A and B are shown apart, each in its own frame.
Chain A
């Protein structure tokens, strides 16, 4: 039971980071109808920026600056490259964002070097908290809390503010939104800014102990894909919920499923979400909350 609670919290903390990643993918998909494979590199960039900025700025200020800078870069990418891709086939945008990701990764290696870094934290990096019988990393709790705050804040922004209404309107139908006087271009830019900023925050928390910051951190975003697909590409809420489930599933399957599979179980938890996703999609091809597309020929 103690172990279950402990695993549950670390699973939720992992799920929280996945949720931030999934959120970024999902809002960008809703706004631009493209799947941003460069998202993982934005996350990695955020983590590296944080390690550099935390040296000169107070921690919270550095976090804000990191989020703002990464978000700015994401908005710039959208404006400079991806907006030209409107109306092009799906694989064009896939390949373009994949290669933008490769370029970003190389840029990160050039700017920050290939060395592994530790993520600075204002608290002791290995500090633990006693919860009943179980010990939990303080970083896990903070990341869980911070993610919840960000998610609730974004939910409020999208549901309650005029900007949120504009975002929802432009993702629904860009032409109608334009004709109603919504500056769709700027809204798109802001959406990408949000995606970049949340990616950076996710990167900062994913880089904390026991993990570290290196140039392969961006691959973590690949691990969040099953959540986005199972949740349904069109549904932000679905993606976030599925991301938490995914985090739990990954940690719990590592503890409870791997040992029963013998040699096959080694590292099985890393691919288990993908296997689950493939089976799930056979039953529901558009994910849990994905909209069933109605088309006219």
Chain B
């Protein structure tokens, strides 16, 4: 029994959903995603929104690190740029969010391509440290112009008119809740569907990058850049494309995060820890696949509140703050996954799938 669809033509290799498994999985994922906001409580809906933000951010990092092999610790810098771009464009210039969002991505992509040009000659750890420096520089720049960014005290992120929280009688905020035909659309739910669209788009984009020639060029650079160049791959272009796509999506993710939070400061959240979290997501999910980015992002975001719940019950750990407890438990999980399952959740999924496809035989 074949364990993957037989590929005999080039077009088969390029299919978006190559097999019945993929189609079934995609349908299931869409169904779950559409049902989620009606089933989840308010707290878990917020977690879901953060999860969708994380999917976009992780997909962005997956393009750069997973496909093109450029290790970046500077992801937080691009997220910060996106977040502050929508905050400033919305707050100072009064742009609606749907206009500010792509602009935030564009700004971040511009910075990404410039940094990418700097990074062309750097490899591995050198690149990692330079991108780490980018985080510090971005923080410094954002804090150095308090007229624009409001400095240390942070800035509010306005949403567009049809999202804005309306103020009812006596100054009571209504939270922008609509009732459409007996269905309550709260702010979080509206946000959820917008985010779902955006993260679906991001996943679709990264999947297309992965299966197209530009993605294959990136992977050639990742696996052996010298050989890729000898074979005629334009490594400069591949790297710059990876930086561009990655930082565009990271900017969008940062903007989404800003809309979700409604009020942002520079540090936290936009520090080295955020970069680490995103690397942890793609490592947890499995480096080099879009499925890895999505599953890693979701696993990471949904584990955090769980870890906070569990953390209080563990002796010794209860001395820490709840955020620290979550960090400890998540770090433990990540370290274990790295040591025991190098391919991450993607590897687990491969093994499960192989088991069922070969059933009742074991291999």
**Which residues of A are interface residues toward B (Cβ below 8 A)?**
29, 35, 81, 84-85, 88-92, 94-96, 98-100, 102-103, 106, 109-110, 222, 225-226, 228-229, 233, 263-264, 266-268, 270-271, 274-275, 277-278, 281-282, 285-287, 295, 297
Contact = CB atoms under 8 A, between A and B. Distances in A.
Interface in B175-191: none
A228 B146 CA distance: 33
A92 B133 contact: no
A95 B140 contact: no
Contacts, number: 131
B331 A99 contact: yes
Interface in B122-149: 122-126, 128-130, 132-134, 136-137, 139-140, 143-146
Interface string B146-170: 1000000000000000000000000
Interface in B261-288: 272, 276, 279-280, 283, 287
Contacts of B107: none
A88 B118 CA distance: 26
Contacts of B9: none
A101 to B, nearest CB: 9
Contact of B128 (A35, A266, A270, A295): A35
Interface string B314-346: 001101100010011001101100110010000
Contact of A91 (B227, B287, B324, B334): B287
Contacts of B24: none
A287 B125 CA distance: 12
Given A94-B279, A106-B324, A81 B331 contact: no
B116 to A, nearest CB: 13
Contact of A285 (B121, B143, B224, B276): B121
A90 B324 contact: no
B263 to A, nearest CB: 23
A35 B48 CA distance: 35
A102 B136 contact: no
A262 to B, nearest CB: 9
B71 interface: yes
| A-B pairs, 4 with minimum CB distance | A274-B133, A285-B121, A99-B331, A106-B328
B295 to A, nearest CB: 17
Contacts of B125: 29, 35, 90, 94, 233
Contacts of B335: 81, 96, 99-100, 103
A229 B119 CA distance: 14
Nearest to B273: A102
B35 interface: no
Contacts of A275: 133, 137
Contact of B339 (A81, A263, A297): A81
B73 to A, nearest CB: 8
